[in-house]
Amino acid sequence: MNRTLAGAVIVASLAAGAVAVGLAYAQGGSPAVDATVQANQAARAAQSRIDALDDQTRNMLERYRAAIWQTQQLKVYAEQVEPPLATQEAERAALAAQARDLATNTRDLTPLLLKMIGSLEKFVALDLPFLQQERRERIEGLKRLMTDPSATQAEKYRRVVEAYRIEGDYGRVFGAERMELTEGGGKKVIDVLRVGRTALYGLTLDGREALYWDPAKKAWLGLAAEHRGELREALRIARETAAPLVVKLPVPPPVVAAAKEAK
């Protein structure tokens, strides 16, 4: 046998042995082969766990970054909100102080309002006798309002001040009304002209009798017949049925005693 043939035989023998070993491994293998297979499986399992831990770490890092960003945004928001909150707190404290003061002022306001109503009632009684029913009803309404527990102090104060304003307006305008007089057991109806709070004049409905109010005597007295035409025209002006013009009527002198009594 030559060398070439001998080499071929050896290669064939090795191949046959490798095949035999492969068959042996396939059929059960040796402990060394089993250990290698298990090591490979363990390595693959470890790599899977490493991959999972890497994903978990990445997710945690993303959440951490998101939390940092949110914290920064909240810090900026807090810096922006803090000044208005401080202002609101100061306003709340001021309102609380005002509420405490209001409770005290409310107790002090009631006696003042009652005194104002009493003074207004005296003033109306001493004033010229015009719109008497309307003015008395207004004062009685104020008295009832002061005893109404559902009415606020603000409403009571507003109504009292409004009554004073109305009385003040009477002194700046012409006014006309119809009034019934009682004289000597008889009655007669007259049209009354009010010139502010300066004077009151009356004219009977038939136009035959002119009157004026005497504050000193607190009575209606006769007015010269020559003034009836002027008085009739002044009544038309007061009722806005005629254009304004100058009329001449006698004015009674002021009464100082009535002013002193009013005080």
Ranges of each domain in the chain: 108-170, 174-262
Burial of 238 (0-12, 13-18, 19+ CB in 10 A): buried
Most confident of 26-30, 134-138, 235-239: 134-138
Neighbours of 159 (CB within 10 A): 17
**167 closest CA partner among 199, 140, 134, 193:** 134
Asked if 195 and 172 touch (Cβ cutoff 8 Å), the reply is no
Statement: residue 260 has pLDDT above 60: no
Asked whether the predicted pLDDT for residue 30 surpasses 90, the reply is no
Q: Answer yes or no: is pLDDT of 211 > 50.
A: yes
On whether the CB atoms of residues 191 and 205 are closer than 8 A, the answer is yes
Q: Please give the structure tokens belonging to residue 185.
A: 């057991």
Rounded CA-CA distance 26/83 in Å is 81
Proportion of the chain above pLDDT 90, given as a percent: 38
| pLDDT of amino acid 137 | 96
| Averaged pLDDT, 208-226 | 91
- With bands split at pLDDT 50, 70 and 90, how would you rate the model's confidence at 39? confident
Specify the higher pLDDT residue, 180 or 12.
180
Instruction: Please name the residues in contact with 132: beta carbons below 8 A apart, sequence gap of 6 or more.
Output: 124
Per-residue pLDDT band at 40 (split at 50, 70, 90)? confident
Degrees to nearest 5, angle at CA 215 with 211 and 218: 80
132 pLDDT above the threshold of 90: yes
